[in-house]
Structure 1
Amino acid sequence: MIIANTSLSGNNSRKVSSNSIRDFTILKNFNVSTHHSTNTVIKEVLWQPPLINWLKCNIDGAAKGNPGLPSCGGIFRNHVTDMIYCFAEPLGTASAFQAELCGAMRAIEVAHNRNWKNIWLETDSVLVVLAFKNLNSNVTWNLRNRWNNVKQLLTQMNCIMPHIFREGNQVADILANVGISLSSLASWYNVPNFVKDSFVKNKLGIPSFRICNS
């Protein structure tokens, strides 16, 4: 299958992408091999559980406007993909990056408070990944004290933070968007109904697909 005319704009481009992903999924289910153009590829995005004795926390941030009404959310799962804890939190006024960063910091604070020592953080924000790779990165003054405290907490735990495409981060994305409508931090120990479909998709190992430039 060849995806043609990747320079299409607007609704036409989205229709091509949507149709291509649907066709690719059908062909994959029938074990039919596909051949893509050199300009675009379809990547399979699969959420992976952590190793035994580790917890994985997918995090995300949302902002209506930049800056605007921001929030963050995250979900902790164990090696058998069961949910341990999830949260959604409104943040006041912040940029999209600050919202993403607050999600990561909240996750680390939660892990520290519960004595969870082995944490795999996963985000679709490249900027947040870069910030954690260089802990001496400058953050805005309003987050600086919290950032310094989080850096200290990280010395007491094992933590990794790779990047994942947003198609594999859907549960955290939903939680972050729910946070916009809240008045304060909310948390759950059972899977909320509003994320159940995406949660089950991850649990069953059902992939999502992303069209990328080669």
Structure 2
Amino acid sequence: MVPGKIAAGGVFRDNHSTVRGCFHKKGGIGYAFEAELLAVITAIQIANDRQWFYLWLESDSTYIVRLLQDRSLLVPWRFMASWKRILALLDNFHLYVSHIYREGNKVADILAADTMVEGWWAFEIDIIKDAVRLDMSSHSHIRMVLH
């Protein structure tokens, strides 16, 4: 696997699936796993800053889910300081972590696109509106790979 440009994106929703905010963060050069890690670090930092301490975090990386569940330090060295800060913050949270297949994580996938401008939006931005509606209607997102 060859490293490339990475970016992270995420969306915050309340218990009624209403979007409360979303983000996009550039990550430089790295691997897909590092983009997932960056997304989790950014999401927990944002939740902490806004005092959203009841958090259900979904990731399409089973390894990320395990890292959080085990509070493991097995992360790339360039993320170690940020990861340790995040783990310390988790004592303030009621955190539930679960795996979601990439097809079910369409909004975050859109927000992680490299063409996005880095930022935080405290509302539902236009680029994700259709995907949010599909998620709320419980429709599946089918991803096809042709060889």
Q: Aligned partners of 1:206, 1:98: CA distance in 2, in Å?
A: 29
How many residues are aligned here?
Answer: 144
Q: Aligned partners of 1:197, 1:106: CA distance in 2, in Å?
A: 24
- Which residue of 2 is the match for residue 204 of structure 1? 137
- SS, match of residue 87 in structure 2: helix
| 8 Å CA contact 1:75, 1:87 repeated in 2 | yes
Q: Aligned partners of 1:172, 1:83: CA distance in 2, in Å?
A: 12
| 8 Å CA contact 2:73, 2:84 repeated in 1 | no
Question: Unpaired segments of 5 or more residues in structure 1?
Answer: 1-64
Q: How much has 1:189 moved relative to structure 2? A: 2.2
Q: Aligned partners of 1:166, 1:96: CA distance in 2, in Å?
A: 12
- Which residue of 1 is the match for residue 78 of structure 2? 142
| 8 Å CA contact 1:70, 1:93 repeated in 2 | yes
* Aligned counterpart for 1:94 among listed residues 30, 34, 57: 30
Q: Matches of residues 1-214 of structure 1 in structure 2 within 5 Å? A: 66-177=2-113, 180-182=114-116, 185-208=118-141
| 8 Å CA contact 1:66, 1:96 repeated in 2 | no
State the Cα RMSD in Å.
Answer: 1.9
| 8 Å CA contact 1:90, 1:181 repeated in 2 | no
Q: Aligned partners of 1:112, 1:78: CA distance in 2, in Å?
A: 15
TM-score (norm 1): 0.63
% identical aligned pairs: 32
- SS, match of residue 161 in structure 1: strand
Q: How much has 1:196 moved relative to structure 2? A: 1.3
